[in-house]
Amino acid sequence: MKKDIFDILVEISEIMNTIFETDELIPQILNITEKFLNVKRVSLMLIDDNKLKIIAATNLPVNFKEIEIPIGEGISGRVAMSGKPVIVNNESSCEDELGYKAKSYLSFPLKVRDKVIGVLNLTDKENDFFNNTDVKIAGYIASQCALAINRFSLYEEKKKTEHLKVIGKFTSSIAHDIKNLLQIVQSYIELMEIEMEGESEIKLYIDSICTEVKLIHGLTLDILDFANKQINLRKSRVRLSDFLNEIKKHADILTNLTPIKFEVTFEEDIEFECDKEKLFRVFFNLINNSIEAVGENGNIGLDVKKKDGDLIFELIDDGKGIKKENIDKIFDPFFTSGKMKGTGLGLAVVKEIVQAHKGVITVESEENKYTKFTVRIPIV
């Protein structure tokens, strides 16, 4: 028996050193397990969003990957929750992960650093009995499967990181070129504004072009800031009323063909210290999101107060709101909550800009009622 146990350990170790894709490796380990332990079925389940899903199995129907078991339910679910193995011997009432009757059943947790990531199930041992040696071997196999899955996960994460670095350099280079071109376009637009002074209809078109250019310019800056992984501020003294007038001007242009109402209020016109361009991008991003949230008709308000040496900006809209499950994700890079437009970097960069100003940004929302962003930054 010792030689047999040694053989299975060597066989599993050899395939783990030669196969690195889990889709190929795990089924081979399960096949070895089935034959060595003389069981009818073997399955390996991983935890995914509070459910167990079968990723590999022997002698199960071809649709086994569609099967899901909630954590805490059934033998496998209880093992996933407790992290302790369960052994059932000579029981006619036992059911396996598919609900089939089984006379014996062994379910063993897969762990990575004491965290349960899945379950290994062995069903119907020949002679209907799992002994202590079987349990030890099942424990070893479960640990090797967990090791293989964790190793593959780390490898994929490393590969993804390397790809992102290459993509980051590429996109950063393109964004930098676009930014330079847009600055030239913006300069010519400003010259046109001077030339067209007094021609209000044409000036309206120019203002609209200028706003759209600012949007594109902001997107390229978001990409550059994200790629550089840091926000460099160029602070200056800024008068609040001038800053809010600039925001109001561009918000009015964005909403001028809609019945959306945008209002700005503030208690006291003071000077404060900030990077005007970057802080403008913060509110340009937030207001653009609010416009999309309210749809064809709605109200958006920006109110500014002074409190305890800080400026508090509150932007509130009566749009579709944010789903509860998304409220903690909206500042994550590339999270778009199903939006058709955008890079998913806007709010991530918004948060970084606010934090670079030694400020904080928070959000509260109720679906189909309202969303309120609060930005708090020091006056000095």
CA-nearest of 110, 109, 113 to 145 is: 110
Residue intervals in the chain for CATH 3.30.450.40: 2-157
pLDDT tens-digit series, residues 107-141: 899 988 888 989 999 888 877 688 888 888 888 88
DSSP for 28-81, please give it: HHHHHHHHHHTEEEEEEEEE-SSEEEEEEEESS-TTGGG-EEETTSHHHHHHHH
Query: What pLDDT, on the 0 to 100 scale, is given for residue 2?
Result: 43
pTM over 0.85: no
Which positions ≥6 away from 353 have C-beta within 8 Å? Answer: 225, 231, 275, 278, 279, 281, 282
In which residue ranges of the chain is pLDDT below 50?
1-3, 340
> Per CATH, is 231-380 categorized as 3.90.420.10?
no
| Terminal Cα distance for the chain, rounded | 77
- Residue 1: the pLDDT is 43
pLDDT at residue number 227: 65
pLDDT at 3: 45
DSSP per residue, 162-193: HHHHHHHHHHHHHHHHHHHHHHHHHHHHHHHH
Range(s) within the chain of domains with CATH label 3.30.565.10: 231-380
- Residue entry with tokens 């389940």: 45
**Domain covering 2-157, topology:** Beta-Lactamase (3.30.450)
